[in-house]
Structure 1
Amino acid sequence: MNGFSIFMDQDLTPQTVKYIEQMAQAGFEGIFTSLNLPEDDATKYEARLMALGELAQQNELALMVDISGPALKRSGLELEQMKQFGVTGLRADDELELTMIAKLSHEFTIGLNASTITANDIITLTKAGADFTRLEAWHNYYPRPETGLAKNYFCEQNAFLRAHGLKINAFIAGDKNLRYPLYQGLPTLEKQRYLDPLVAWVELKNLGVTGVYLGDPGLEANTLERLKVYFDRQVITLRIKPEIPLCLQVMGEHENRRDVAELVIRSANARKHVLTQIVPENTHPRSRGSLTIDNCKYGRYIGEVQLVKQDLPADPKVNVLGNVSAYYLGLLEYIGSGQKFRLVEE
């Protein structure tokens, strides 16, 4: 599931309503929110959750709420009320008893704390009659820089979770309207804190994460558009900084050849569309992320379009057209056999 976060520190504004509608139209399927933030005014939660739940239902979005025993008491909300408001899932804090979680699993999708659940907890939930078809594992997000999870630990824990049949959810940081009070992103993995959201999204999916949620409450328009293309057609978008005018002629959609090359990504069909002679120009060394085209000196390879995966020397037979913007370089490793990718001008 693809999801995003809406926080209840303020009443829903027209801008937030529009944002929710845009996210739903882009292919997002769920909203995450929290009753578990001590800086919020808990007396406002009931009205705000009711409004958010109504919007979620209108846009056919699941609604997962982070809760704890103390947070429920502070808010004054009853679980039955939350169900009426359109809440479909509860991300359960460690303070909730496992027997209570087992009982709630017959009413809601339950998100267990992915980082702390143990084999003994699984045994206890089984004995308590939990509905495992409605149990999922949810990692935290980490507002403070340097405290996000290590990738190795994340992968090891996920292997344990998958072995017990649990779907795994994790967060990535946004690139607009970052969450207060630190404004440093809300990722699960520390290494992803300042990554392009599409890079982070694709990486988590490749690590076997079932549900990826945007932690921060905002995305830049071009990021949302690139994610929509990925959701709709599994096409990876790369933004290119042109160096020579010919670069603009190869913008558009390409597909990596199925016989994957070690050092470059080869467009499967670019040579079929060569209509003019390509003379040598801009034949300087090719850094990682260079977009290149073979010139007339390469004979029948003329017009071959490539993306360079690691630094290569200059070749008088290869023109450098431009470069993948540094922010998006991480996407190169996910363009595998037959993967479609789209080149757009930066």
Structure 2
Amino acid sequence: MDMDNGISLYPGLDNTPAENLALLEKAAHDGIRRIFISLHIPETDVSALKQEIGTLLQAARRHGMEVISDVSPATCQLLDLPDFNPTSFRMLGITTLRLDYGFSAEEIARLTHRFPEMRFQLNASTITRRILKELQDAGTDFSRIDALHNFYPRRGTGLSEQSLVHANILLHRYGIRVGAFVASQGRRRSPLKDGLPTLEEHRDEAAELSARHLVALGCDSVFLADSLPTAEEIQGIGHLQGDQVTLHARYMTKDPVQRELLAHTFTARLDEARDAIRAQESRRLLREMHAKVLPDNATTHPIGAITIDNEGYGRYMGELQIIRMPQPADPRTNVAAMVDESECNLLQYITPGRKFSFRFAPETDII
């Protein structure tokens, strides 16, 4: 499933207007449909922002991109709006308003009914059961709402995995989709330049791996948070798949039958094995291929080994597993591929009923 992922723009801060425009164009080209624009960073050059914002919003509109902006009294002043009026933001090209501080449940509920052309966004990082209950009691139209976690510029202040998951579960209970940020390893945003992740553990991690971790934790969208991400990072976020755990792996076999089998998306069986993640569909898929798996590469099975049972296992031929507990070699089972060591942490999120797939880089296309 494709996701509605995003980039972040900070007019008047680190990038030149040309760099920001090029970033927007590149993101649109790579299938990114959302932009988070922050308009209340103290270090921003306000006159530069005012000169640039119109061009960026115009380009976003041309590409049909959703523009999310945090709003506060200072934002209205910055954009020369006399008062807080969602229609004025819409006319500028801002389509979603992030309602962080200073809005009561009644005010938010009223906004969702009075301005059907706008979307509104909650701060996922500060959400509580009580806030959601108040919004529900006030009659909020939750179909007009989504949520986005904060990012954390100062090292050591990012969220824990546990708190992010807790917030995501709460929001999903009300049918609210949730996004979060990953840091870029490209140009990092001023003034601290220490990355802008939602989760502290992602601060120095590759953006694409962090993004796949967020998907595994139940996030519905991922935003690149820093000023000027690399072309590879934009492409990775643009092509990110939702609702499944994607693992980078390397082939251990040249057999075309096993490689074709590995190209599918699988579902983890509901009757969870102690030692391995078992694919629900692999044996059926092999039968549909009218193919056989011959003995090949029957080495030991370390954690992260992707195994396929060969014809020696009789009716289990085609059984695909990802090993979670090391096992000895078995001539009836081939080690067809290996999950990259840095990705084995993601195995814990392939829970019963969860979909998973493998991605093989062209240069790893060798034994």
Q: Same fold (TM over 0.5)?
A: yes
State the Cα RMSD in Å: 4.0
The count of aligned residue pairs is 338
Does the Cα contact within 8 Å between 1:35 and 1:72 map onto a contact in 2?
no
Match of 2:350 among 326, 334, 338: 334
Structure 1 residues not aligned, in runs of 5+? none
Q: 1:76 to 1:337 in 2, by over 3 A?
A: closer
Letter in 2 for 1:140: N
Does the Cα contact within 8 Å between 2:293 and 2:318 map onto a contact in 1?
no
Counterpart position of 1:264:
277
CA–CA separation in structure 1 for the residues paired with 2:178 and 2:36: 11
Does the Cα contact within 8 Å between 1:68 and 1:96 map onto a contact in 2?
no
Counterpart position of 2:95:
88
Answering whether residue 85 of structure 2 is matched by residue 68 of structure 1, we say no
What's the CA shift for 1:30?
A: 1.4
TM-score by length of 2: 0.72
Counterpart position of 2:197:
187
Counterpart position of 1:151:
161
Deviation string 1:57-89 (CA, Å, 9 cap, x unpaired) is 11111101123333544x353266543220112
What's the CA shift for 1:330?
A: 4.2
Letter in 1 for 2:323: V
Counterpart position of 1:324:
339
Q: 1:276 to 1:186 in 2, by over 3 A?
A: same
What's the CA shift for 1:32?
A: 0.5
What's the CA shift for 1:173?
A: 1.1
Answering whether residue 65 of structure 2 is matched by residue 58 of structure 1, we say no
Counterpart position of 2:241:
230
Counterpart position of 2:10:
7
Answering whether residue 176 of structure 2 is matched by residue 173 of structure 1, we say no
Secondary structure of the 1:230 match is coil
Structure 2 residues not aligned, in runs of 5+? none
Secondary structure of the 1:35 match is coil
Secondary structure of the 1:31 match is strand
Describe how 1:296-335 pairs up with structure 2 within 5 A.
Answer: 297-299=312-314, 301=316, 304-332=319-347, 333-334=349-350
Letter in 1 for 2:250: K
What's the CA shift for 1:49?
A: 1.6
Does the Cα contact within 8 Å between 1:247 and 1:322 map onto a contact in 2?
no
Letter in 1 for 2:5: N
Answering whether residue 40 of structure 2 is matched by residue 23 of structure 1, we say no
TM-score by length of 1: 0.76
Deviation string 1:114-167 (CA, Å, 9 cap, x unpaired) is 33456479759977x97665444432111223211223333444455556x472
Letter in 2 for 1:240: A
Identity %: 27
